[in-house]
Structure 1
Amino acid sequence: MKTLLRYLFLPLLTVLLIFIATCLISSSRMPGMPEGFPWDKLVHFGMFFALSAVSLIDYYRLCKGNPPTLRWIFWGFFIPVLYGGGIELMQKYFFVSRSAEWGDWIADILGSLLATVVVIISLKKRRYSEKNISL
């Protein structure tokens, strides 16, 4: 149980920070950014990139470097994507100071997707290089 909590702490902290940033802070209290670039989409992308990356890496470590692939993808990609969709629904129906947008959820999905690809490729490369070290 102690090991499970150790590997859940960082993903859950990330989830909490995303929830606070996207639901509890009023959009009028967000800092203004220069016009012409969809900064909010970049923020969504970055938050969900971080969430998926942390979830994938921690699950990888929890499974001692040999996670079951489907479960790994489920926890590292699908759960964050569903969480992002859930946040958008909560913004639409429960938090009047916020608004829901398809573009935000798409940015969440793309952030999670890129994190999944980057983490899987980097961990496979790392494992490959560790196997092929010759002395």
Structure 2
Amino acid sequence: MLKTRKFAFAFFGWMAFVTWASLSTFPDDDTPDIDIPHFDKVVHFGFYFGAAVLGTFFIRETTHGKSPMIKTLVFAAFGAILFGILIEVLQYSFTLDRQGDLFDALANSFGAIVGALAMNWLFSSPKGLKWKN
């Protein structure tokens, strides 16, 4: 059973991690600051790129490849985008030291879209993965 649901566990685990990382407070520590401009946007991009990729594999696994690929990619990307917007609203509304940011939501959305496009390329290329199991 666990082997057949590996992407379900990976996807929900990833989304739980993203939620925790987005809504938690991290104490300041004595680590040296490395100032990379807009690095947080790269992190947002990566979180939601991963969400779209794992979401695609999760839907494919759940439907055994019977859901059309394009429909799955749109659903995975759109779901990740909505989740990212929800997280930004929650940060704005319910956290004391975090704040919602329109540019974070845009980075989340861009990551989800690029993740879906990467999955389209992966499943559409001649040497890529096959959509049907």
Superposition TM-score, scaled by structure 1 size = 0.79
State the Cα deviation string for residues 29-53 of structure 1 (Å, max 9, x = none): 6x66533520100000001111110
Regions of 4+ moved over 3 Å: 1-7, 26-29, 126-130
Backbone CA RMSD of aligned residues: 2.8
Q: How does 1:80-91 map to 2 (within 5 A)?
A: 80-91=80-91
Whether 2:60 is the aligned partner of 1:60: answer yes
Cα drift, residue 26 of structure 1? 3.5
Q: Counterpart in 2 of 1:96?
A: 96
Give the unaligned 5+ runs of structure 1: 131-135
Q: Counterpart in 1 of 2:22?
A: 22
Q: Relative to structure 1, is the Cα distance of residues 42 and 25 closer, same or farther in structure 2, using a 3 angstrom cutoff?
A: same
| Distance in 1, Cα, partners of 2:38 & 2:27 | 14
Q: Relative to structure 1, is the Cα distance of residues 37 and 4 closer, same or farther in structure 2, using a 3 angstrom cutoff?
A: same
State the Cα deviation string for residues 80-119 of structure 1 (Å, max 9, x = none): 1100000000000101110111110000001000000001
Give 3-state SS (helix, strand or coil) of 1:65's partner. coil
| Distance in 2, Cα, partners of 1:117 & 1:87 | 23
Between the aligned residues of both structures, percent identity stands at 18
The structure with the greater share of residues assigned to helix is: 1
Give the unaligned 5+ runs of structure 2: none
Amino acid in the other structure paired with 2:91? Q
| Distance in 2, Cα, partners of 1:2 & 1:129 | 22
